Structure 1
Amino acid sequence: MRIILAPMEGVVDYTLRKLLTDVGGIDQCVTEFVRVTDRLLPPVVFHRLAPELRQQGRTESGTVVLLQLLGSDPAALADNACRAVELGAPGIDLNFGCPAKTVNKSRGGAILLDEPELIHRIVAEVRRAVPSDIPVSAKMRLGFRDKALALDNAAGIESAGAASLAVHARTKVEGYKPPAHWEWIARIRESVSLPVIANGEVWSVDDYHRCREVSGCDDVMIGRGLVANPFLALAIKGSSARPEDPWAQVLLLLERFHREAMCNIAEKHVHGRLKQWLHMLSWQMPEAKDLFARIRTEKAPERLLEHLLEARAVRLDPTVANSLVGTV
């Protein structure tokens, strides 16, 4: 069994990858996509989205991070894959699943699922370009408007030499609306011989087991489920490392996340990053929902940090909460 942290544009960045892999249970990560048009990108673009390249392509806890590319020009993608490998990427992942309208309009992501031959050429060119010991993988949805070409796309990816295929069990049009069609992952898995990774609607241990039963896949890629519950991978694996008080540990993670944001991004964006993660945590944790309601209108980074410290003090000992108000 492998649990892979899914790429989520604008959500699962370097800092969140670092924190979630520090928690444990995650076997591999994939970066947010590097968008490729028709030119070779400078190293700074790769380092901005994948600082792990400076760490042998791993998070600080040692988890391997594949670099994801998105585009429709096979030659340009191959050139940029080579550059990524030169910079330290331990593997290349190709994005055929992004549903964003702006991406699809420029012939990137899920729109390519209407062109199985082009998908085959992209994977084949990248596979030929990078060293044989560097894995090339792909992520796809079941299709753009419908599922008619799902098996053709999977076959093209396999015949082009991909090492593995992650399948998000919905079409672009279906977006992120439940259900995920795990039975289609089973059809794809039965039609190809390369390893298939199931993706979509795994929010709990029970979801994982149902997904495994329906899809036939031991390996699963999880995005929103892990962002909403950082301990989900440990729970799926039955690890004894799961915390006795998850919310207290989440507050520590939120503080680390917020302090990194205060150091690394423009002040006007700091509050948005914290609130985004806290909002997603509220899908699984009622305490996060309450905290989000308290800070929803706050924008000052230092004041937000005070709220986090106060929330942690209350969790540990309600009687000392007042002593931390106004401190950083």
Structure 2
Amino acid sequence: MNILLAPMEGLLDFALRDILTRVGGIDRCVSEFIRVTDQLLPERVFYRIVPELRHAGLTPAGVPVRAQLLGSDPACLADNAARLAGLGPAGIDLNFGCPAKIVNRHGGGAALLQEPELLERIVAAVRRAVPADMPVSAKMRLGFEDDSLALDCAQALAAGGACELVVHARTKAHGYRPPAYWDRIADIRAAVSIPVVANGEIWTVDDALRCREVSGSADLMLGRGIVTDPGLALAIRYAVQHGTPAHGTSLPGWPELQPLLHIFWGLIEAHIEPRHRAGRLKQWLNFLRRRFPEAEEAYQSVRTITDSRAISAWLGIEEGAQAAMPLAA
């Protein structure tokens, strides 16, 4: 079983990838998308979104990161994929699932699920542009307005040369509203010969076990669920291996998360503009309070704070002191 960390624009960036892979249980990460329009991007753009490229494509915990590209022009995506491949990611992933209106308006993300032939041409162009040993994978939703082309899209991505397919089991129209339609992943698995990873609405160990059963996919991708419960991957792995839920001290509780909050804040202070720093911490605490009662109290304590110095004081970090930041180099 492989457990992947999802790409989530504005949430699961390098800082949370660092923290969540330190907790453990994650086999691979996918970066937030790097948007490609009509030009060859400078290397600094790739390094900014995927700073792990400076460290052999690995998080500080040693977990590989595939860099994700988003765009609709096969030739331009291929050129950028070739440049990106030269920087040493653990692979290249292609985004065919983003539901954002601004992305879809410009023909990117989930909008491409209306054109299976174009999907195949994009993957094939990227596959030809990068070294043969560089993995090229893809992430898709079930469709745009409906799932009538789900099998056609999956087959097109496989025919183009994708080595793996992650399926978010909702359409663009569904957004992030529950439920996720895991049974449709089973249909896709039957239609392609490449590995298929199940994604969507996996918040708990029970969700993960049901998703594996319904979809038939042994491999899972976790997004908001693991942001809410950083020990979720470890708990799923334990339940699958032992046939019983994990209990006791094997999973991180609130006390074990405290040093990680400090490291997270150090990363934010070092790399995020001051006006956005407090918001990033509050964003994560907002997720954590779904799992930890203590996080609710913490969130309420900082909810109205906007000054990053006040956040540091609340965390008990002396002004000027920073946590270890291996990706800052």
TM-fit CA distance, 1:250: 1.9
Establish whether residue 165 from structure 1 lines up as the match of residue 165 from structure 2.
Answer: yes
2:198 alignment partner, SS class: strand
1:237 alignment partner, SS class: helix
Distance 1:133 1:211 in 2: 31
Distance 1:289 1:140 in 2: 34
Conservation of the 8 A alpha-carbon contact between 2:113 and 2:119: yes
After superposition, the C-alpha distances for 1:248-281 in whole angstroms (9 at most, x for unaligned) are 1222211211122112222111101111111111
After superposition, the C-alpha distances for 1:91-120 in whole angstroms (9 at most, x for unaligned) are 110000000011111111000000111111
Aligned to 1:297: 304
Distance 1:94 1:64, change over 3 A: same
Match of 1:260 among 261, 267, 271: 267
Aligned to 1:237: 237
Aligned to 2:52: 52
The amino acid that maps onto 2:51 is P
Establish whether residue 250 from structure 1 lines up as the match of residue 243 from structure 2.
Answer: no
Distance 1:38 1:248, change over 3 A: same
2:143 alignment partner, SS class: coil
1:87 alignment partner, SS class: coil
Conservation of the 8 A alpha-carbon contact between 1:234 and 1:241: no
> Which runs of 4 or more aligned residues in structure 1 lie more than 2 Å from their structure 2 counterparts after TM superposition?
239-245, 305-310
Q: How does 1:27-46 map to 2 (within 5 A)?
A: 27-46=27-46
Aligned to 1:196: 196
Distance 1:112 1:80 in 2: 19
The amino acid that maps onto 2:83 is R
Q: Any unmatched runs of 5+ in structure 2?
A: 239-245, 323-329
Give me the TM-score of the superposition, normalised by structure 1.
0.92
Aligned to 1:109: 109
1:33 alignment partner, SS class: strand
The amino acid that maps onto 2:230 is P
Aligned to 1:315: none
The amino acid that maps onto 1:211 is C
Aligned to 2:96: 96
Name the stretch that deviates more: 266-275 or 71-80: 266-275
Conservation of the 8 A alpha-carbon contact between 1:140 and 1:167: yes
Conservation of the 8 A alpha-carbon contact between 2:231 and 2:252: no
TM-fit CA distance, 1:242: 5.5
2:94 alignment partner, SS class: strand
After superposition, the C-alpha distances for 1:163-216 in whole angstroms (9 at most, x for unaligned) are 000000000010000000000000000111100000001111111110000000
TM-fit CA distance, 1:243: 4.7
The amino acid that maps onto 2:224 is R
The amino acid that maps onto 1:91 is G
After superposition, the C-alpha distances for 1:41-64 in whole angstroms (9 at most, x for unaligned) are 000000000011111111111111
Distance 1:80 1:38 in 2: 10
Give me the TM-score of the superposition, normalised by structure 2.
0.92
Conservation of the 8 A alpha-carbon contact between 1:251 and 1:308: no
Aligned to 2:206: 206
Distance 1:121 1:76 in 2: 12
Q: Any unmatched runs of 5+ in structure 1?
A: 311-323
